[in-house]
Structure 1
Amino acid sequence: MMIVTVTMNPSIDIAYPLADFKLDTVNRCEAARKTAGGKGLNVSRILHQLDEPLRATGLLGGALGEFIKRNLAEAGIAYTFSEIAQETRNCIAILHNGEQTEILESGPTVSEAELVNFHHILKDLLKEATVLAISGSLPKGAPTDFYNQLLDMAHDKHIPVVLDTSGASLLAAVQHAHQPYLIKPNAEEVASLLGISEITNLTELKNSLQSELLREIPVIVVSLGSDGALVKAGEKIYKVDIPKIEVKNPVGSGDSTVAGLVSGIYHKQPLTDYVKKAMVLGMLNAQEATTGYVNLANYDNFYRQIKVSEVES
C-alpha cells in the first residue's frame, strides 16, 4: 500500500539568487536552480526523504513536463502522470537582499477529455492507496469543484484525503457531502471560508473552527507561522507551540508540514504525535536554503521541544 500525491498544476520552480536586483537593466545569475515544483511535488519530496511508499500524479505537458519527469526520476520518486496537450508552467523566484520576488505563470488550459483521462489514472492508483494527498491550485479549464470528484473517488475506497488548497476549490470541498479528512488553512483562509473580514485572535479562531461549515471535518490544522498551530480534532481543540528557529527559506514549509500529516495518517499514529512530526518537518524545511528538503539529523531535538496542549472549549 502507498500514499498518492496529486499536483494538478505543477511547475518548474526556477530560483535566481542575486546579490542585488536591478530594474530596467541586465541581472546576471551565476547559480540558477531548477526543480520539479508545485505543492504536491514538494510534499512528495519530503515523503520520499521519510522513505514512505508513494506515487506522484497529476497533469504534465510538453518539454517542461518531460523535465519534471526526469527531475523526479533522478530523485528516485515514483510517478504516473496524465499527459496534456499544452505546456507545463514555469514559476520564477528572484532571491535578493533577503527578499523574494515571484513571477508565477498561470499555466496550461486543460480540456474535459484530459481531466477524464486523469480520472482513469487516479482510479487505478487508488486501488493501492491508503492516503490521498491533494495539494495546490487547479489549472485553467478545470471546474472549481474538481477536487470534489476526487473526494468522491477516495470516499468510495474508504481512503482519507488530506487537502491543501485555498479559495473557491477549498470552499467547494468543505461544503461537499464527502468532505476531506484533513485540511490545512491559515487564519486568513478560515476567515475567507466563513465570509468574515479577519480573525484577530485565538479565541475567534477557535470559535471559527467550531462553526457549522467546518464542524464535521475530522481534522483541521491551522498554521500560525512562528506561533505554531491550532488544531481541531473532532470536538477537541489543541494549541501547538514550537521553538523559535533561525529561518533561511520558508518556501515549502507548509508542504513539508502536510507531508508530516500525511505520513502520520498513513502510519495510523495518534494525532498529537503526527502533528508534532508535521511541525518539525516544517521547521526543518525553513532552516534549509533548498525548498522541499529537510535535515533529519535535527529531527529529534525539535520534536522534544514541541508542546501540544488541549484548549478548553
Structure 2
Amino acid sequence: MSGADGEGAAREREPGERGVGGRSSSPILCVTTNPAIDITYAMEELRPGTSHRVETGLARAGGKGVNVARVLHQHHEPAVVIAPIGGPVRVLFVHDLERSGIPHRLVEVSAPTRRTTAIVTPAGTTNLNERGQAIGADDWQRLLEIVRAEAPASRIIVSSGSLPPETPFGFCASVVDVAVAAGRPCIIDVGGEQLRAAMAAGATAVKPNRHELLEAMGGTDPLDAARRLAAAGTGTVFASLDIEGMLAVLPDGRAWHAQLDRVLDGNPTGAGDAAVAALALTIAEGETLEAQLARAAAWSSAAVLAPQAGSIVDPAELEPRIRITPIG
C-alpha cells in the first residue's frame, strides 16, 4: 500500500475480516495533517547559550498520526499512514516508513515538511516544533479523497496532530463525515475550532490535552470544559491531563478519571499518541468505556518510559495499576 498520491491502494476486504493469528486484517487509518521528521537527543544537561557535543540523534518519520500508527504496528496491528509530504525530508520520511514496515498513502506537496527536535535530559524534555507550511487547496482535497477511498476497508479512522497554517476550516469535521458515510468510528485529536466542529459532526471520540481543551472551550476547569464539549456531540471526550491522568466524559455529563498509582520519570513526548492508539484499538474492538480509558492511560504511561515518541514499553505491568474513579 506504500506510495504517493493514490498509488498502491488497499485490497477491498470485508469489514472485520480476520488475518493471521486472529487479528483483523482491516487497517486503522492514521491521518497526519502536519507530519515531521522527529529528531531526539538524549543528554545529561542542557545549558542554554553554550555549545554541546552530543551523540547522533535519533531521527525518524513523525507527527502525531505517524506515532499512532507506529505504536499500533509495534503491537502487530495493521495501520496506514495518510499524510501530505514534500521538500528535502521527503526521502527520509518515506525511507523510515518503509524500513519500519508501516504502509502509507502520501500526497506529494510543494511545501517542505517540517522538523521537530526533542532534547531529553534528566531534568525534563525540551521540544522545538516547527509550525509547518501551508499546503494548497487541491492538496487538501486529494488528502480527503485518499481517506474516502480507504475508509470502507478500514476498522477505524484517526486524525491527529497539529494543523499547518491555512488548514481549511472544518477539515477534521470532513474526516468525520467520511467516517460516518462509511459506517466507521472516528477519533479526532486536535484543538481549537476544528475540535469543536469535529465533535459536533459526530466524532466517536476526541482526545484533546488540557491546553487544547481549555483553548477550545474556555475556562480553567478541564472537567467542566470536557462536559461542555461532550454535550455538543454524541461521542466521548478523552482528555489528557499530563501527570494528573485522563478524563473520559460522555454527552450526558457522566465522567470517569484514570490515573497510574505513581508519577513516572521519562520522556512524555508521544504519550498522547500512545493513548490515541489504545483508544483506536479498543473502540474498534468494541471494548467498554472503562476498558478504553484504562488501556489509554496505561499505554500513555508506557510511552513515558520509552526513549522516543512512537514507541512504548510493555504496558502489561502498568494496566493493572491504573485506578479508574467515577466522578460525581
Aligned to 2:295, the other structure's residue is in SS state helix
**How far apart are 1:7 and its partner, in Å?**
0.3
Asked whether the 8 Å contact 1:89–1:105 carries over to 2, the reply is yes
Q: Which of 36, 57, 82 pairs up with 2:82? A: 57
Match of 1:259 in 2: 277
Match of 2:166 in 1: 141
**How far apart are 1:190 and its partner, in Å?**
3.0
Residues 269 and 287 (structure 1), Cα distance of their counterparts in 2 relative to 1, 3 Å cut:
same
Q: Give, in whole Å, the separation in 2 of the partners of 1:5 and 1:43.
A: 7
Q: TM-score, normalised by structure 2?
A: 0.85
Q: Which of 235, 246, 249 pairs up with 1:218? A: 235
Deviation sequence 1:62-87 (CA, Å, 0-9, x none): 33122111111111111111111122
Structure 2 gaps, min length 5: 1-25
1:309 aligns with 2:297: no
**How far apart are 1:97 and its partner, in Å?**
5.3
Q: Give, in whole Å, the separation in 1 of the partners of 2:114 and 2:226.
A: 35
Structure 1 gaps, min length 5: 200-204
Q: Give, in whole Å, the separation in 1 of the partners of 2:296 and 2:230.
A: 25
Deviation sequence 1:117-149 (CA, Å, 0-9, x none): 212222211121121011012222321322122
Deviation sequence 1:240-270 (CA, Å, 0-9, x none): 2322143211111111011100110111111
* Structure 1 residues 1-313: aligned runs within 5 Å: 1-96=26-121, 98-174=123-199, 176=200, 178-196=201-219, 198-199=220-221, 205-211=222-228, 214-235=231-252, 236-296=254-314, 299-312=315-328
Aligned to 2:84, the other structure's residue is in SS state strand
| Higher alpha-carbon deviation: 18-27 or 155-164 | 18-27
Q: Give, in whole Å, the separation in 2 of the partners of 1:20 and 1:282.
A: 25
- After superposing on structure 2, the runs of 4+ consecutive aligned residues of structure 1 that deviate more than 4 Å are 22-25
Asked whether the 8 Å contact 1:17–1:31 carries over to 2, the reply is no
Match of 2:22 in 1: none
Aligned to 2:168, the other structure's residue is in SS state coil
Across the two proteins, how many residue pairs are aligned to each other?
A: 302
Q: Give, in whole Å, the separation in 2 of the partners of 1:245 and 1:130.
A: 33
Residues 112 and 188 (structure 1), Cα distance of their counterparts in 2 relative to 1, 3 Å cut:
closer
Asked whether the 8 Å contact 2:111–2:134 carries over to 1, the reply is yes
Aligned to 1:63, the other structure's residue is in SS state coil
Asked whether the 8 Å contact 2:190–2:212 carries over to 1, the reply is no
Residues 248 and 25 (structure 1), Cα distance of their counterparts in 2 relative to 1, 3 Å cut:
closer
CA RMSD of aligned residues (A): 2.0
Asked whether the 8 Å contact 1:182–1:219 carries over to 2, the reply is yes
Asked whether the 8 Å contact 2:230–2:249 carries over to 1, the reply is no
Q: TM-score, normalised by structure 1?
A: 0.89
Letter in 1 for 2:243: S
Residues 290 and 194 (structure 1), Cα distance of their counterparts in 2 relative to 1, 3 Å cut:
closer
Asked whether the 8 Å contact 2:230–2:251 carries over to 1, the reply is no
Q: Give, in whole Å, the separation in 2 of the partners of 1:212 and 1:291.
A: 28
Letter in 2 for 1:61: G
